[in-house]
Amino acid sequence: PRRRDPGGQLTAGSPGLRNPTAGRNLVTAQTGPNGAPVHQILVEEPAAIAREIYLAITIDRVHRRPVMIASASGGVDIEETAASNPEAIATEAIDPVLGLMPFQIRRLTARLELDSALARSAAQVMTSMYRFFVEADCSLVEINPLVVTSDGNLLALDAKVNLEDDALFRHSDLKDLADPSQENELENRASDMDVAYVKLDGNVGCLVNGAGLAMATMDVIAARGTTAANFLDVGGGASVEKVADAVKIILDDSDVDRVLVNIFGGILRCDIAAEGIVKAYKEKGSRLPMVVRMLGTNVDQGKSTLRDSGLPVTPG
């Protein structure tokens, strides 16, 4: 079968090759409306596809362990298959102490309806996937599609790997493969500052100290019928400069039309947070409305700094 949604894939002689692809932005369902720049082109020999299979390993948060996922209905429609026909998706929860067991592999290959020769090849693929998943500290290893070719062999046509950010210090060789141009610019800035920041789709900028408090604050924003533009945990021991730089990231987000700050003053004192906020606003010349809820160490000094700043910042 032909792939109905090739995305960025072009075949030799297709009209799309008449215009240079490199240097342009590629827009797909995964990139969002702004797309992502194309800096590299991979040229491959086409494969004669008889069947498409889906294989993946990820973390199952319910079972709190890795899970191997397999489906005989692989390809670009796997998400639709999972939603409309979940029985077509086979899973095996993996004991992290024992690893992927032979009996689990046999059950999965049986669901894939492979003959004995292909089942042995698929077993080798699954074993290698799990070994890489563990050794590289991955959160996802996916092959889609793993195709059965017309001459009866298995061939991985496309693969995706997600690495656990907090484990990258153990994998400098993999970290060097990162292409910042494919990532969000604001997230790159935050990473350079050692600030936990994730860009989201809402319009309310959010700055908090502490991941748990940040999640709770985002829930409050959602409960009021709005959505957060980001997750940002500035951390417990932030300086005035670090707070200011974190605020600037929010102010530079064109999707943000208001900002909510929630500070529990402990290691990060309220007066330090307030000075950082004022510094960022004055240096950016911003008039974006901000509400600051702060409580804890030096809260009175912090609120006084905000009130006396003359900025559109409301302490609460």
Domain boundaries, the chain: 1-46, 48-172, 184-315
Amino acid identity of residue 305, one-letter, is: T
Residue 225 burial class via C-beta count within 10 angstroms: exposed 0-12, middle 13-18, buried 19 and up:
exposed
Q: What is the pLDDT of residue 174?
A: 85
The correct CATH number of 184-315 out of 3.40.50.300, 1.10.150.50, 3.40.50.261, 1.10.3130.10 is 3.40.50.261
Residue 236 has a CB neighbour count (10 Å cut-off) of 11
Q: Please write the tens of the pLDDT for every residue from 207-252.
A: 999 999 999 999 999 999 999 999 999 988 899 999 999 999 999 9
Strand partners, 65: 60
CATH class as words, domain 48-172: alpha beta
Residue in this structure with the two tokens 């992927």, named with its chain if needed = 100
Q: With a cut of 70, list the residues of the chain below it in pLDDT.
A: 1-23, 28-32
Distances (CA, A) of 132 to 90, 141, 149, 172: 21, 8, 24, 15
Q: What is the pLDDT of residues 100-145, one digit of tens each?
A: 999 999 999 999 999 999 999 999 999 999 999 999 999 999 999 9
Out of 54, 130, 197, 281, the active site residue is 54
Distance (Å, whole) CA 304 – CA 301:
5
**Quick one: pLDDT at residue 4?**
45
For the question of residue 130 being annotated catalytic, the response is: no
Per annotation, catalytic residue among 52, 92, 142, 275: 142
Provide φ and ψ at 310, rounded to 5°. 75, 10
Q: Are 182 and 215 in contact (CB under 8 A)?
A: no
Whether 183 sits among the annotated catalytic residues: the reply is: no
The C-alpha atoms of residue 187 and residue 231 are separated, in whole angstroms, by 10
Give the model's pLDDT for residue 297.
95
> HSE (CB half, 13 Å, CA atoms) of 200?
18
Other beta carbons within 10 Å of 154 = 19
Residues across the chain: 316
Averaged pLDDT of the chain: 89
